[in-house]
Amino acid sequence: MKIHIIFYAVIFVLFTSCASSPSPVLPPVALQALTNQLDIDLLWTQRFGNGVGDNYLKFQPTSYNNAIVYLDHTGKLFSLDKKTGNVNWQRDFNLPVSSQFLIFENKIVFGTSQGDLIMAQIDSGEIVWRKKFNSEILSKAAISDGYLVINTVDGYLYGLDVNTGNQRWFYNRTVPVLTLRGSSSPIITNGIVLSGFDNGKLIALTLNTGRVIWDTTIALPSGSTEIERIIDVNIIPIVKDDLVYIATYQGRLAAIELTSGKIVWSRELSIFNDIKVDAFRVYVTAADSRIWALDRKNGATLWKQDALVRRNVTGPVLFHDQLIVGDFNGYLHWMSRKDGKLLSRVQIGEAVVKNNPADDLNSYFDTHISKVGNILSVPIIFDNTLYATNRYGDVHAYSSD
pLDDT digits (tens, 9 = 90+) for 60-110: 999 999 999 999 999 999 999 999 999 999 999 999 999 999 999 999 999
Per residue in 11-59, pLDDT tens? Answer: 444 444 343 334 457 899 999 999 999 999 999 999 999 999 999 999 9
What pLDDT, on a 0 to 100 scale, did the predictor assign at position 32?
A: 93
Query: Which neighbouring-strand residues pair with 189?
Result: 192
Per residue in 160-171, pLDDT tens? Answer: 999 999 999 999
All structural domains of the chain = 95-274 (2.130.10.10)
3-state secondary structure of 20: helix
Beta carbons of 314 and 386 less than 8 angstroms apart: no
- Environment class of residue 357 by beta-carbon count within 10 Å: exposed (0-12), middle (13-18) or buried (19+)? exposed
- Give the rounded distance of the alpha carbon of 93 from its chain centre: 23
What pLDDT, on a 0 to 100 scale, did the predictor assign at position 4?
A: 56
Kindly report which listed range (48-52, 205-209, 337-341) carries the lowest average pLDDT score: 48-52
- CA atoms 322, 375, 285, 148: torsion sign: negative
User: What is the rounded distance in angstroms from the CA atom of residue 290 to the CA atom of residue 284?
Assistant: 8
User: What is the rounded distance in angstroms from the CA atom of residue 363 to the CA atom of residue 41?
Assistant: 27
355 or 46, which is more confident?
Answer: 46
3-state secondary structure of 347: strand
- CA atoms 28, 373, 312, 95: torsion sign: positive
Beta carbons of 393 and 46 less than 8 angstroms apart: no
Query: What does the mean pLDDT of the chain come to?
Result: 89
Kindly report which listed range (46-55, 264-273, 329-338, 367-376) carries the lowest average pLDDT score: 367-376
Per residue in 115-174, pLDDT tens? Answer: 999 999 999 999 999 999 999 999 999 999 999 999 999 999 999 999 999 999 999 988
What pLDDT, on a 0 to 100 scale, did the predictor assign at position 136?
A: 96
What pLDDT, on a 0 to 100 scale, did the predictor assign at position 368?
A: 46
Tell me the backbone φ, ψ of residue 302, rounded to 5 degrees. -100, -40
What pLDDT, on a 0 to 100 scale, did the predictor assign at position 101?
A: 98
